[in-house]
Amino acid sequence: MKNEFNDIINQQSMIGRSLGMYLISTEDEQYDGRIITFNGKKHVFFSSCSYLGLDVHPALKKASIEAVEKFGVNLSSSRATVSLGLYEELENLLGQIFNKPVYVSPSTTLGHLASIPTLMEKDDAIIMDQQVHNSVKTAVQLLKAEGIYTEIIKHNRMDMLETRIQILRQNHKRVWYMADSVYSMFGDSAPFSKISELLNTYEEFHFYVDDAHGMSWAGKNGNGYALSKMDWHPKMLMATSLGKGFGSGGGALIFNDENQRNLIRSCSGPSIFSGPLQPAVLGAAIASAKLHLTDEIDNLQDSLFEKMFYFIETAKRYNLPLVSHELTPIFYLATGKKEISYKISSFLLKEGFFGMTTVFPAVPMKNSGMRVTVTNHLTLDDIDGLLSRFAEILPLALKEEGSSMDEIYEAFNMFKPQQKENIMPIERRKIA
């Protein structure tokens, strides 16, 4: 079965690669965050997760260079033995952002692998949201060998979650719910108000949230989307990314107290056996953390919110099938059939736009589409250009594949909006 599944993934990858959509290497001599060049053509980049544009911020680049000049390329030692003092500086700054103890991990994935197997106990039960990130599911898999009960429930179904809490609390000391704050494919979010209510209702209920795609662009001092929607709860743990909105690299684990943090430092496999972050990454992360503690973070957030709002309103004007209208920087333009997705993506590549073409098994068989991210690198004209051209090609691709908008709405269980008069595509102009 595993080989068959790998064959399906490889087949889809090869098709996408032949169309210039997957496994791409850029050809740019310099990167500015907005444009990437491949196959000899420039494309506006709608697949970056550097939401605030900090990946090319002068302060981060300068700090990265200075760290290399001072400390070399790498201090090759396990953190269990020796680590650069830059780690302590970074964790102290992140502690100011979150007002909680923070441990920096080599990546968010390794953070999950450090915290989940170490902090979960034999009497716990774990409930995962159907769409929680694969890195969380991977970490939870390690617990099955220890006999810890795990299950998956349908996406964002709080009625099902509460029922399962009521049942599992009878025989388990703690019942954990593991979810993303902002889901990486469709851009929708967890129902934080209901989760907070459940935390306050059931003593046994605990919450583990992956805020990788919510970091920096939301929350006070950029402390993330989750904490912009709910107060920190003593029965809550959080992991996040320093390699997306934060602009550098690595991950961070946020704890209730120093005892939890010290347990991860001393006992978790990734903390003992994985390699450290390089000085260049640590230097950039420190510069980013300092920026987060200034008013500049508010200006960057405001700029991105304008673009996110503009994307949603423009998609509505063009009657496009946007899966989620939540104000996050991740958007999913639904196509249904994979053949439609390939045709639209091929057209957009020729027009100078690159977004992530998504087909099975990344999404369910009938849920193909284009995943688009909005960053501060992009302009409003870029957004208009992408969406107007998507609106231009969509009806043609649907007709050629014998599909319809009704079929898309049915496949995604989406509410069909009241039809508006179509907007004519904007006048063509050179984008890249």
- Residue with structure tokens 């169309």? 19
How confident is residue 418, by pLDDT bands cut at 50, 70 and 90? low
pLDDT at 55 over 50: yes
- Please tell me whether the overall predicted TM-score, pTM, comes out greater than 0.85 for this model: yes
Integer Cα distance of 317 and 384 in angstroms: 11
Helix (H) or strand (E) holding 350: helix 338-351
pLDDT at residue 430, rounded to an integer: 34
pLDDT at 96 over 50: yes
Backbone angles phi, psi at 124, to 5 degrees: -80, 160
How confident is residue 427, by pLDDT bands cut at 50, 70 and 90? very low
Fold equal for 2-51+297-411 and 58-292: no
Residues 6+ apart with CB under 8 A from 167: none
Does the domain made of 2-51+297-411 have the CATH classification 3.50.50.60?
no
Higher per-residue confidence, 418 vs 394: 394
pLDDT at residue 426, rounded to an integer: 41
Phi-psi region of 53 (alpha: psi -120 to 50; beta: other; left: phi over 0): left
Percent of the chain whose predicted confidence (pLDDT) is above 70: 96
**CB distance 238 to 231 below 8 Å:** no
- Give the DSSP letter of residue 101: -
Query: Computed over its alpha carbons, how large is the radius of gyration of the chain?
Result: 22
pLDDT digits (tens, 9 = 90+) for 352-363: 999 999 998 889
pLDDT at residue 7, rounded to an integer: 75
Integer Cα distance of 123 and 276 in angstroms: 33
Integer Cα distance of 151 and 229 in angstroms: 26
Integer Cα distance of 16 and 346 in angstroms: 10
Integer Cα distance of 144 and 122 in angstroms: 10
How confident is residue 429, by pLDDT bands cut at 50, 70 and 90? very low
pLDDT at 428 over 50: no
pLDDT at residue 2, rounded to an integer: 65
Q: Is the peptide bond before 361 cis (omega within 30 degrees of 0)?
A: yes
pLDDT at residue 4, rounded to an integer: 72
CATH of domain 58-292: 3.40.640.10
- Residue with structure tokens 């939870």? 140
pLDDT digits (tens, 9 = 90+) for 216-248: 999 999 999 999 999 999 999 999 999 999 999
pLDDT at 374 over 60: yes
pLDDT at residue 3, rounded to an integer: 72
Q: Assign 295 to helix, strand or coil.
A: coil
Domain boundaries, the chain: 2-51+297-411, 58-292
**Mean pLDDT confidence for 252-278:** 94
pLDDT at residue 70, rounded to an integer: 98
pLDDT at residue 432, rounded to an integer: 33
pLDDT digits (tens, 9 = 90+) for 270-281: 998 988 999 999
- Residue with structure tokens 């688009």? 372
